[in-house]
Amino acid sequence: MTDDQLALCPRFHRAVELIGRRWAGAILQLLTNGRLRYAALKATIPDISDRMLSERLRELEAEGVVRRIVTPETPVRVEYELTKKGRELGAALEAIGRWAEEWIEPAGARARGRKRRSA
């Protein structure tokens, strides 16, 4: 292999860093089902703090992957949805999900005595 073939693609690296940040994948997976309110995201993602959820949503919004929708009601309603750019991640997230079903143990599975799949 040449050095060019071994070089890390900066776009790939940035994309993996974005969707691989803690909780980002969970947020994206939930939003693939449609628009959700902040409270619904918070209630559905176990152990995420308000600060972390807000931070991740802001990062995904800044990248143009998530759109924040504010409805001026009383009280104000804030919802989040995937943009076209975010929806384009659907196939990649589905592929990761299939891989995870095959190769990743559920949390605590080892403690219950499940054996890991071998290659």
Kindly state whether residue 12 falls inside one of the protein's structural domains. Answer: yes
Q: How many domains would you assign to the chain?
A: 1
Is 119 within a domain?
no
Single-letter amino acid, residue 17 = E
Structural domain containing residue 42:
7-103
d(CA 101, CA 105): 8
Residue 54 in domain: yes
Query: Is residue 72 assigned to a domain?
Result: yes
Q: Flag whether 13 is in a domain.
A: yes
Indicate whether 113 belongs to any domain.
no
CATH number at residue 65: 1.10.10.10
Cβ neighbours of residue 30 closer than 8 Å, sequence gap 6 or more? 36, 41, 44, 45
Give a yes or no: residue 27 inside a domain.
yes
11: Cα within 13 Å, side-chain hemisphere: 0
Query: How are strands ordered across the β-sheet holding 66-71?
Result: 36-37, 77-82, 66-71
pLDDT (tens place) for every residue of the chain, 119 residues total: 676 667 889 999 999 999 999 999 999 999 999 999 999 999 999 899 999 999 999 999 999 999 999 999 999 999 999 999 999 999 999 999 999 999 999 887 765 555 555 55
CA 77 vs. chain centroid, Å, equals: 22
